[in-house]
Amino acid sequence: MSTKAHPEFELERSARLESLNLAIEQYHHKATGAMHIHLACDNSENVFLVALRTVPQDSTGVAHILEHTALCGSQKYPVRDPFFMMTRRSLNTFMNAFTSSDWTAYPFASQNRKDFANLLDVYLDAVFFATLDPLDFAQEGHRLEFAESGNPDSPLVYKGVVYNEMKGAMSSVPAQLWQKLSSHLFPTSTYHYNSGGDPEHIPDLSYQGLTEFYRRHYHPSNAIFMTYGDIPAVEHQQHFHQQALHAFERLDAQIAVRPEKRLHSPIRVEDSYPLEAEDGEDTHSKTHVVVGWLLGKATDLDAALEAHLLASVLLDNSASPLLKALEQTELGQSPSPLCGLEDSQYEMSFVCGLEGCEAGATQAVEALILSTLQQVAEHGVAAEQVESSLHQLELSQREVGGDGLPYGLQLVMTALTAATHRGDPIAQLDLESALKSLRQRVADPEFIQRSVRRLLLENTHRVTLTLRPDAQMSKRAAAAERARLADIHSALDETQKQQLIEQASQLISRQEQKDDDSLLPKVTLTDIPKQMTYAAGSRETLGHYPLRCYGAGTNGLVYQQLVIKMPQLSERQQHLLGLYSLCLTETGHGQLDYLQAQQLQAQTVGSLSARASIRGNGEDPQSADGYLILSAKALARNTASCAALIRATFETARFDELGRIRELVAQQRARREQSVTGSGHALAMSAATAGMSPSALLSHELGGLAGIARLIDIDNANRENTQAFADELAELHQLMLQAPRQLLLVGEQEQLDHYRASLAEHWQGPASGEIPPLSLAPVDKRVKEAWLTNTQVNFCAKAYPTVASDHPDAAALTVLAGVLRNGFLHRSIREQGGAYGGGASQDNNSGAFRFYSYRDPRLAETLQDFDAALDWVQRETIGADEIEQSILGVVSSIDKPASPAGEAKQTFQAELFGRTKEKREAFRQRLLTVSEADIKRVAAEYLRPERASVAVIAPADQRQAVEQLGLTLKKL
């Protein structure tokens, strides 16, 4: 790879990282000092990110609101919404913006060079030449409006996208727990504050405060440019300089996070979180107790790896000493979701604790944690546990990701912490040499004991936080907000009232104006690749088992799956599939108890998990297939032992460890209850589609709100009689043992023969028997439900039964969703309604079309907007550009690359359910020919009012509102 720099840039250093198969180059811009880090590799999915160090000194959310507002128009692109407009005119594989606790980043990725150049142009202008219109600040941040539009005598209300987003985000108890712990763990630095914004403080931010923060922080001298892929660094630098950097001079001021002042003795603090509770409902066992320590700098790679190793030794699995103590104690329901090492900030922190504690458990929980650490300090841990943790670090370094964020973006984000704090981003990525050094230090048998003493037991910067539930806290907060608004209202004169009315009117006019989108660059349908990429695998037999093999660039990792055809199950057994899958890999097997099994997993594989996969077959939504899939990944040297572990786990599973089963159910309950505020839109859509197909119903019963409600019931029953539940799991497992099996193997092409031979050592013997496969009864029911839970915002969904992916109308329905989102829903639900997000989608698996909103202050009005969108699509002319934009979005999601192993697994999964390459290509081709007539026809044919189902997730105090909507009340 060439390291030629643009004349305005200077190369500081470069290094080849063989373990990642790339070169890393570090440059700086001579005039401004802007940093450029380039990860050069042979990958056509190019990634760009520009980050600004942002260090807020309050909880107004200034950095977060600025992130939103900067994307609302710029000098070169004076349209009000260039970011969202570009999402429709692009083949991007990723496009977003992030606000962290000490940086704000604007990343995107694309496989298309023209598209990459377009997005780079828009992003550079948005970041460095933002318009920052006051009306955009009012829309994205916060504003005051009269509850009755235009009526100055009606009460005032707060509105704003970020305001509502953070109301939703801070409804999450783990988010509150982390923020309250941080405020004490970091008493003087920027982490003391809520960088996303506390809804109570967001209204304190002025427009002037926003613009001042922008001028200080959004400058090239404070910027970090990061790129990944096969475009040379010099080409990027040409664009950076020509489109932005030439217009700036170096700033002398340096923005940085200052080191935290250390506590000289540990402290204990108490706080509360709001918990809606029925009269008489027990809230005593809802307390969280966590202990947090402040450690060293994240930029010190040796210190960071030592902290990672220690955290892994203590918490990696149920055999780890600290996690074992937290799981087995009766002091709480389960380990805290905060347990682990936080290394993304300037100084690292380590946290552990329990949730579901009694109110007075603080001292006992703290004593349990400290005594466990003291035991480790005195007696150490087995060498095998340390070796397992080193094994996990090596495996994580080798794995080629990309199944969530693009792989290049994952690497860029890994290096960003070091770059932000002016550390060594090359060293941050070059873990292989650092791991060698760590292995040498760990050879000292007392290394872990000394680490526990120095980093934790002798570390006086320790905070113990007790977070108790308060059933009246939400009411007091709401009353305080009403009082604040009433005071503001009473102080307004007539001129000020009129100004608020005029601002609301101006904002609506701005939101409804039609911008000239021809100002923005775009790609067209002609830029779409003719064919989708396809991972081809072999079809063969290993002993008596069908085997699929895929060659892929996995960097020395091997991926294996055991796939069991789901047998016929009773309704109760179907509902237990989620917990059965969890317990299968988290309990003991054969002669091993669960602790020994967990230790064996840590020594052998990077992960071992089981899941039930139930999907439609693409032809009829009322038909569904099901499989149980055990998945593992391992280093190449562990291929045979990985296969042995999978087989032993499945064939000799035991469900006789009743205490362990109780722990697992309680932990799963806690995790699932906490998931609602983060994924409420998905849960609402799942509930709304539950009456439309058997796969959708079972999805709702397993992973949806019904599944959470049933999990709560099972957990409560388990406390009295776990044996009956364990017997049910064992009976279900006996059915699985009789079902047909097949195998999947993914690894380096040149090593497949060797891997195959390793599998053959463990997968011989008689074939599994024949047993009737899963057959689900047809489903056709309209749903009208409201689920009340502990949230400050709403999640709304409306769904209609449609068709599966192979039906000719599936493509038109999929494009319709994009047209509705781009043309109507984004404006009405997000911009005007104030929700963090909203849109529509066609679910070809369940044969359903879904509308949704996310972190939404409205309820009835949003459901009305869903209906209004259907009126709009019939009334308005849908232009060719609007259809093209929707098609581009759908195709880019289809063509989005995964990791090499991920693409192989996705292909295998699709073909398992009959989604052959030919069928997927046919659907992709049908998308390209969708017309306005097709869109209007399918909307009229399928999205009829009498066929609609509705499900919402709402705060407990919205009971009366949902009853007026005619919805059946459900409560988690």
41-55, 227-241, 613-627: range with lowest mean pLDDT: 613-627
- What is the rounded distance in angstroms from the CA atom of residue 13 to the CA atom of residue 233? 13
Q: Which of 803, 158, 718 is nearest to 484 (CA)?
A: 158
Is 0.85 topped by the overall pTM? yes
Domain final residue, candidates 760, 793, 821: 760
- Residue 643 has which token pair? 């296969």
**Per-residue confidence band for 282, with pLDDT thresholds at 50, 70 and 90:** low
544 and 446 in one domain?
Answer: no
pLDDT digits over 613-651, tens only?
A: 999 888 999 999 999 999 999 999 999 999 999 999 999
CATH code (residue 801): 3.30.830.10
**Per-residue confidence band for 276, with pLDDT thresholds at 50, 70 and 90:** confident
pLDDT of residue 133 exceeding 60: yes
* pLDDT for 395: 87
247 and 273 in one domain?
Answer: no
**Per-residue confidence band for 768, with pLDDT thresholds at 50, 70 and 90:** low
- What is the rounded distance in angstroms from the CA atom of residue 614 to the CA atom of residue 694? 9
pLDDT digits over 311-337, tens only?
A: 999 999 999 999 999 999 999 999 999
> Which amino acid appears at position 285 of this protein?
S
169 and 25 in one domain?
Answer: yes
pLDDT digits over 803-850, tens only?
A: 999 999 999 999 999 999 999 999 999 999 999 999 999 999 999 999
286 and 146 in one domain?
Answer: no
pLDDT digits over 555-567, tens only?
A: 889 999 999 999 9
Asked if residue 481 belongs to a domain, the reply is no
- Work out the percent of the chain whose per-residue pLDDT is above 70: 99
What residues have CB less than 8 Å from 589, skipping those under 6 apart?
Answer: 597, 648, 649, 652, 653, 654
pLDDT digits over 404-416, tens only?
A: 889 999 999 999 9
Cβ burial of 237 (10 Å; 0-12, 13-18, 19+) is: buried
In sequence order, what DSSP letters do the residues of 222-277 get, joined into one string?
GEEEEEEESS-HHHHHHHHHHHTGGG----S----PPPPPPPSS-EEEEEEEE---
656 and 598 in one domain?
Answer: yes
> Which amino acid appears at position 66 of this protein?
L
Residue that the structure tokens 């973006």 belong to = 409
Asked if residue 530 belongs to a domain, the reply is no
Task: Kindly state the average pLDDT of the residues 41-53.
Answer: 96
215 and 92 in one domain?
Answer: yes
962 and 913 in one domain?
Answer: yes
Asked if residue 657 belongs to a domain, the reply is yes
Domain residue limits at 911:
784-971
Asked if residue 402 belongs to a domain, the reply is yes
**Per-residue confidence band for 354, with pLDDT thresholds at 50, 70 and 90:** very high
Asked if residue 385 belongs to a domain, the reply is yes
720 and 841 in one domain?
Answer: no
Express the helix, strand and coil content of the chain in percent, nearest 5 each: 50, 20, 30
pLDDT of residue 769 exceeding 80: no
Asked if residue 332 belongs to a domain, the reply is yes
Asked if residue 260 belongs to a domain, the reply is no
Establish how many alpha carbons lie within 13 A of residue 840's alpha carbon, considering only the half-sphere containing its beta carbon. Answer: 33
* pLDDT for 531: 86
Q: What letters, b where the CB count within 10 A reaches 16 and e where it falls short, cover 426-462?
A: bbbbbbeebbeebeeebeeeebbbebbbebbeebebb
- What is the rounded distance in angstroms from the CA atom of residue 545 to the CA atom of residue 558? 19
226 and 124 in one domain?
Answer: yes
Planar angle of CA 963, 964, 965, nearest 5 degrees: 90
pLDDT of residue 1 exceeding 50: no
In contact, 64 and 195? CB cutoff 8 Å: yes
294 and 214 in one domain?
Answer: no
217 and 93 in one domain?
Answer: yes
**Per-residue confidence band for 20, with pLDDT thresholds at 50, 70 and 90:** confident
Domain count, the chain: 4
950 and 835 in one domain?
Answer: yes
* pLDDT for 348: 97
Asked if residue 524 belongs to a domain, the reply is no
